[in-house]
């Protein structure tokens, strides 16, 4: 866990860069890939305060994974980015 002063989020960016150098990718809880610069905003959006750290070697994007993520998110209701309901994309 990393405690951060909201008025200075540079520590989050610094730690994110450190992980990326170790071939670890950063995702929000909706499985959107993050850059070090947008980690703090993404982590605090929606009150989850969470960033997922996944080793690059363990990431295997397949049609089944994409479909399962779409299914999960299509039934969640309003999205944080748009405030609109996502449609089922089948």
Query: Which DSSP category does 13 fall into?
Result: H
CA–CA gap between residue 36 and residue 47 (Å, rounded): 19
State if pTM tops 0.85. no
pLDDT single digits (tens) 55-66: 988 887 677 767
Question: What is the pLDDT at residue 2?
Answer: 79
Buried b (16+ CB within 10 A) or exposed e, 14-32: ebbeebbeeebebbbebee
Give the H/E segment covering residue 73.
Answer: helix 63-74
pLDDT in the model for residue 28: 87
**Which residues of the chain carry a pLDDT beneath 50?**
77-90
What are the sequence ranges of the domains in the chain?
1-59, 60-90
């Amino acid at each position: 866990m990393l405690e951060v002063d909201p008025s200075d989020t540079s520590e989050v960016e610094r730690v994110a860069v450190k992980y990326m150098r170790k071939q670890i990718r950063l995702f929000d809880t909706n499985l959107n890939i993050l850059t070090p610069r947008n980690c703090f905003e993404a982590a605090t959006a929606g009150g989850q305060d969470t960033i997922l750290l996944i080793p690059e070697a363990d990431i295997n994007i397949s049609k089944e994974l994409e479909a399962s993520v779409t299914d999960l998110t299509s039934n969640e209701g309003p999205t944080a980015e748009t405030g609109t309901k996502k449609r089922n994309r089948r």
